[in-house]
């Protein structure tokens, strides 16, 4: 008993040690995948590319291959279970009922791409002889379905991450990829009934009978029909019992998971793949509802954090690089020919659909290249199919007439064991070849089961025979799938490049405004107090008389219950009439004040009236719509605080502050916030000699460049003396230690280049001619920046800054820690703070931020 206990302890210790090794390998895989993905981020590569590379490298390390072989069966079950979850979640996200609807343009693109790829593949695959023992029609259709499919999860994430998901071509590619995935997986599932493709299903070397095929078909039909009928009722009941906003009951979660697991099981009893059974069940489950969303989120979390590192390690182990034969021409043929089939089939199909739908042929080619994308299921099936037919070769090899007796002495009996299950279990106690040192899973075993034969056959084939044509098929398939994904960012970049050329020139920013175009400003007011400062702002913004200035003066009026009760509604959207006397009188006074200015000094200025009447929640959207319809290039907003008699600001209106913040985020053009400290009380601005001093601060960034463009317009006014002050980082020895805080990313280097180019052009146009004074301040840190700003006290009437000027500079590092109004930016917040001057007004300008960060292009662009 003591000996048995010792043996048990040794075995337990050995297993714990092996488990620790596997955990270390898993953590190394996770770290390596994340690290490589971070390094490839500048190249916009999807996550799957870095995972494939790391899996191929780690999976072919000899130490790890030996460790993997000892736990081969356990890893096999983990991979199969994980892929079942993956396919189940994928099925839930698909809508099978689109097959019964009239095809739209998305479906037409997918159908044409599938059929063309199918046609090329079916006529080519039988002549490739990828595997030496099986080339039946079911196998040909299955391989064709894999080639014609598109990995919709990978494609969707790729399109979304590259910021074109809301464009017309992005939506088309995502929908076409989903259609392609659904149809091809359904075809593949049907073909599986006639050709099992599970590596643990070792009956595929025998011809299936018609009776078994009929049973499998009936089982799949009954399972999917039951799921489609019962699951909506059951899940609707669970969803009703667990409304949104409340935690789900544990018993209902357990019941739901058990129900989903049970309805996936019946067809597997009739030799149907569990992976495909999970997919067929998933597509019949309702996509909407709390339970379905919960299941999808949990499965995706488990897959991304736990399963995928193991999956790609398994992939790398199966894709043995030692079996690669670069000197064999047939190897390269089997590598390039599937890629050629997929690319040509997809491109031809999208060209045909593009001709039908009227697409440009270049866009059709780009769509076809994106639909080439493959993913996790294609990798899984490529490895599985390669291993299946490799085992098929082993079965053929170990038949009595073909056995190499020099390798296995008892080969004849061995082949009989493989060929006839009824001979099992087989007594191996006297057979020296079956040593536990060679096969650890045989510890304590006296007989050999049928499934164990696969592992032993693999061992003898790898140690006693050269690689066959099937041996390197897994590696070639993985490599082909890698090259079917890695090109996608280049295609998306080409789409964006073509969209920029075809999209109309974006003029909703001052920097992009043509000199021959008039400047349109949407000038917002809170009331009569905003009028004097707004008139002086108009005066300094007039520029040259040709092409002129168009000002839309609009009051921001909150729609209260009292005002709403006095409104009269007519026919149409814009037919509401305000009858509130206070509002009418205020608007009349504002109109008269502006019109008086136009009558006396309005040369080159066109005045138009507007009004933004809405609730606070909808005010920003209302202003955006008005500015976009009026094609304004700049929106000017009053600061939400007003200056009191003592020179300090009041607490302000939080509703107006909310509107300003929303507009800064969602405005269709550039935005300026005017902090008024007596800018309207400086009196009439002379047009013959300088009477107003204006300063502009330039640190860097697109907002500062936008502010510089506005300053160039102000410089044309003869009554305004403009001084541009450029803050530069002091490069002396005393401040060189701060260089560590510099941002050296490629994007920042590009921004610095744009800053230098913009300022050089501005210098040549305005400073060289003497219209603008120029100063440079060499500063070391944010403290010196703050001191320099404080020196502006009483020196200037208006300071113009960019909202995010120097946001990544050491000259503003730390200023965010004491910001009171972050919407004004680091410099604007200091200049408008309560401790600053009581007589210096501030204009903070933000350049139009294009949604989606596709410079020069909105993310919802149209190219088709």
pLDDT digits (tens, 9 = 90+) for 261-299: 888 888 888 778 888 888 888 888 888 888 888 888 889
Res 612 pLDDT > 70:
yes
- Written as one string, the DSSP assignment of 506-551 is P-SSGGG--TTSPEEEEEEESSGGGHHHHHHHHHHT---TTT-EEE
User: What proportion of the chain, given as a percentage, has pLDDT over 70?
Assistant: 78
- The rounded mean pLDDT for the chain is 77
**Given this model, what pLDDT does residue 457 score?**
45
- Which is more confident, 278 or 812? 278
Predicted structure pTM score: 0.61
- For residue 501, give every residue at least 6 positions away whose Cβ sits within 8 Å of its Cβ, in sequence order, or none: none
Rounded to whole angstroms, how far apart are CA atoms 215 and 229? 21
Asked if pLDDT for residue 424 goes beyond 50, the answer is no
Tokens (6 digits) for 813:
């590092």
What confidence tens digit (pLDDT) does each residue in 306-352 have? 899 989 888 888 887 777 777 777 778 777 888 888 889 999 999 99
Structure-token pair, residue 13: 């210790």
Phi first, then psi: give them for residue 283, nearest 5 degrees: -70, -20
Distance CA 861, CA 864 (A): 10
770 in the Ramachandran plot: left (φ > 0), alpha (ψ -120 to 50) or beta? left
Between 627 and 740, the higher pLDDT residue: 627
- Predicted pLDDT at 464: 40
Q: Which range, of 105-109, 489-493, 783-787, 806-810, averages the lowest pLDDT?
A: 806-810
Residue 348: the pLDDT is 92
Q: Is 842 left (phi over 0), alpha (psi -120 to 50) or beta?
A: beta
Would you say residue 620 has pLDDT above 50?
Answer: yes
Q: How confident is the model at residue 468 (pLDDT cuts 50, 70, 90)?
A: very low
In the block, residue with structure tokens 């907003």: 637
Residue 441 has pLDDT above 60, yes or no: no
Each residue of 807-824: b (16+ CB within 10 Å) or e?
bbbbbbbebeeeeebebb
Which has more pLDDT, 529 or 506?
529
| pLDDT tens figures, 642-655 | 888 777 888 888 88
For the CA atoms of the chain, what is the radius of gyration? Answer: 36
pLDDT in the model for residue 458: 42
Q: Is residue 278 a contact partner of residue 192, using CB atoms and an 8 Å limit?
A: no
What pLDDT is attached to residue 599? 85
Q: How confident is the model at residue 405 (pLDDT cuts 50, 70, 90)?
A: very low
Question: DSSP letter string over 669-689?
Answer: SEEEEEE-SSGGGS-PPPSSS
**Whole-angstrom distance, CA of residue 472 vs CA of residue 258:** 40
Which pLDDT value is given to residue 843?
A: 92
Angle, in degrees to the nearest 10, between helices 361-371 and 152-161: 120
pLDDT tens digits, residue range 164-198? 887 888 889 999 989 998 998 888 888 777 764 44
- pLDDT for residue 461 is more than 60: no
| Residue 83 to residue 95: CA distance in whole angstroms | 20
466, pLDDT greater than 50: no
549 contacts: CB under 8 Å, gap ≥ 6: 518, 519, 521, 538, 541, 542, 543, 604, 605, 606
Question: How does pLDDT run across 732-783, given as a tens digit for each residue?
Answer: 644 444 444 454 556 667 778 888 888 888 888 888 878 888 888 888 788 8
Q: Please report which helix (H) or strand (E) contains residue 352, including its range.
A: helix 329-357
Write down the pLDDT at residue 650: 83
State the pLDDT at residue 46.
87
* Range from 177-191, 232-246, 434-448, 805-819 carrying the lowest mean pLDDT: 434-448
Mean pLDDT for the stretch of residues 35-52: 88
Question: Residues near 47 by Cβ (< 8 Å), separated by ≥ 6?
Answer: 33, 37, 157
Lowest mean pLDDT among 26-30, 434-438, 486-490, 737-741: 434-438
In angstroms, what CA-CA distances link 521 with 558, 566, 589?
A: 21, 30, 21
Tokens of 180: 């392609």
Count the neighbouring beta carbons within 10 Å of the beta carbon of residue 17: 10
Asked whether the predicted pLDDT for residue 156 surpasses 80, the reply is: yes
pLDDT digits (tens, 9 = 90+) for 573-585: 344 677 778 888 8
In this predicted structure, the answer to whether residue 442 has a pLDDT above a threshold of 60 is no
In this structure, the number of other CB atoms found within 10 A of the CB of residue 378 comes to 23
- Please report how the helices 47-59 and 473-483 are oriented relative to each other, as an axis angle in degrees rounded to 10: 150
Nearest to 696 by CA among 842, 815, 587, 825: 842
Of 49-58, 179-188, 244-253, least confident by mean pLDDT is: 244-253
d(CA 223, CA 419): 33
Q: Say if strands 634-638 and 670-675 run parallel, antiparallel, or are unpaired.
A: parallel
Strands annotated E in 514-645: 519-525, 549-558, 605-614, 634-638
pLDDT of residue 58: 87
Q: How far apart are CA 541 and CA 605, in angstroms?
A: 10
Q: How large is the average pLDDT for residues 477-502?
A: 81
Q: Are 267 and 224 in contact, with CB atoms under 8 Å apart?
A: no
Kindly tell me if the per-residue pLDDT of 395 is higher than 60.
no
Structure-model confidence comparison of residues 44 and 579, the more confident one:
44
More confident residue, 399 or 619: 619
């Amino acid at each position: 008993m003591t000996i048995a206990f010792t043996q048990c302890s040794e075995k337990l210790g050995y297993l714990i040690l092996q488990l620790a090794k596997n955990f270390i390998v898993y953590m190394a895989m996770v770290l390596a995948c994340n690290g490589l993905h971070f390094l490839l981020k500048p190249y916009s590569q999807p996550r799957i590319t870095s995972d494939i590379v790391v899996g191929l490298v780690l999976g072919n390390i000899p130490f790890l291959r030996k460790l993997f072989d000892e736990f081969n069966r356990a890893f096999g079950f983990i991979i199969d279970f994980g892929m079942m979850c993956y396919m189940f979640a994928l099925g839930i996200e698909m809508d099978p009922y689109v097959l019964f609807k009239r095809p739209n343009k998305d479906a037409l693109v997918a159908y044409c791409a599938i059929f063309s790829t199918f046609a090329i593949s079916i006529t080519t695959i039988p002549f490739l002889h990828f595997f030496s023992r099986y080339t039946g029609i079911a196998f040909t259709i299955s391989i064709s379905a894999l080639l014609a499919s598109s990995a919709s999860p990978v494609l969707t994430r790729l399109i979304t991450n590259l910021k074109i998901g809301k464009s017309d071509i992005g939506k088309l590619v995502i929908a076409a990829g989903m259609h392609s995935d659904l149809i091809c997986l359904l075809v593949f599932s049907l073909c599986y009934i006639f050709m099992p493709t599970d590596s643990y299903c070792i009956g595929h070397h025998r011809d299936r009978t018609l009776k078994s095929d009929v049973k499998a078909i009936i089982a799949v039909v009954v399972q999917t029909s039951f799921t489609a009928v019962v699951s909506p009722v059951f899940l609707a009941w669970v969803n009703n019992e667990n409304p949104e906003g409340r935690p789900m009951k544990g018993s209902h979660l357990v019941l739901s998971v058990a129900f989903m697991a049970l309805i996936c099981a019946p067809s597997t009893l009739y030799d149907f793949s569990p992976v495909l059974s999970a997919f067929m069940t998933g597509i019949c489950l309702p996509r909407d509802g709390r339970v379905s969303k919960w299941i999808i989120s949990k499965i995706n979390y488990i897959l991304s954090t736990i399963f995928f590192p193991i999956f790609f390690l398994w992939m790398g182990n199966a894709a043995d690089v030692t079996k690669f034969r670069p000197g064999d021409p047939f190897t390269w043929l089997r590598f390039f020919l599937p890629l050629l089939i997929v690319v040509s089939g997809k491109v031809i199909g999208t060209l045909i659909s593009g001709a039908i739908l009227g697409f440009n042929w270049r866009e059709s080619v780009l769509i076809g290249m994106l639909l080439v994308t493959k993913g996790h299921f294609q990798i899984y099936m490529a490895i599985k199919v390669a291993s299946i037919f490799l085992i098929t070769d082993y079965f053929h090899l170990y038949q009595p007439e073909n056995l190499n007796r020099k390798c296995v002495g008892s080969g004849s009996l061995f082949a009989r064991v493989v060929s006839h299950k009824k001979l099992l279990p087989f007594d191996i106690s006297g057979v020296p070849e079956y040593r536990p040192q060679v096969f650890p899973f045989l510890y304590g075993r006296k007989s050999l089961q049928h499934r164990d034969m696969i592992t032993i056959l693999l061992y003898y084939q790898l140690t006693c025979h050269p690689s066959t044509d099937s041996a390197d098929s897994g590696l070639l398939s993985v490599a082909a799938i890698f090259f079917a994904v890695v090109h996608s960012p280049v295609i998306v970049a080409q789409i964006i490049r073509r969209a920029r050329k075809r999209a109309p020139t974006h003029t909703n920013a001052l920097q992009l405004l043509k000199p021959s175009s008039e400047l349109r400003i949407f000038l917002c007011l809170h009331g009569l107090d905003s009028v004097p400062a707004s008139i002086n702002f108009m005066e300094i913004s007039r520029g040259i008389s040709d092409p002129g200035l168009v000002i839309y003066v609009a009051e921001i009026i909150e729609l209260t219950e009292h005002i709403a009760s006095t409104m009269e509604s007519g026919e149409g959207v814009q037919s509401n009439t305000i009858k509130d006397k206070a509002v009418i009188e205020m608007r009349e006074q504002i109109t008269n004040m502006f019109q008086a200015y136009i009558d006396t000094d309005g040369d080159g200025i066109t005045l138009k009236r507007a009004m933004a009447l809405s609730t606070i929640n909808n005010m920003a959207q209302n202003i955006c719509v008005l500015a976009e319809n009026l094609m304004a290039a700049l929106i000017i907003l009053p600061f939400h605080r007003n200056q009191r008699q003592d020179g300090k600001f009041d607490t302000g209106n939080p509703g107006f502050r909310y509107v300003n913040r929303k507009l800064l985020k969602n405005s269709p053009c550039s935005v300026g916030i005017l902090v008024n400290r007596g800018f309207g009380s400086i009196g009439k601005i002379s047009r013959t000699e300088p009477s107003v001093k204006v300063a502009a601060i330039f640190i860097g960034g697109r907002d500062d460049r936008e502010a510089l463009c506005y300053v160039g317009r102000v410089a044309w006014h003869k009554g305004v003396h403009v001084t541009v002050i450029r803050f530069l980082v002091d490069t002396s020895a005393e401040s060189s230690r701060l260089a560590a805080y510099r941002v050296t990313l490629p994007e920042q280097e590009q921004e610095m280049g744009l800053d230098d180019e913009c300022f050089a052009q501005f210098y040549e146009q305005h400073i060289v001619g003497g219209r603008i004074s120029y100063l440079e301040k060499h500063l070391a840190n944010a403290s010196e920046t703050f001191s320099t700003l404080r020196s502006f006290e009483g020196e200037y009437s208006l300071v113009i800054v960019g909202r995010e000027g120097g946001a990544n500079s050491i000259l503003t590092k730390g200023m965010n820690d004491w910001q009171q109004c972050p919407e004004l930016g680091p410099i604007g917040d200091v200049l408008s703070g309560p401790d600053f001057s009581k007589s210096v007004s501030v204009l903070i300008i933000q350049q139009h931020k294009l949604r989606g960060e596709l410079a020069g292009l909105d993310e919802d662009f149209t190219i088709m």
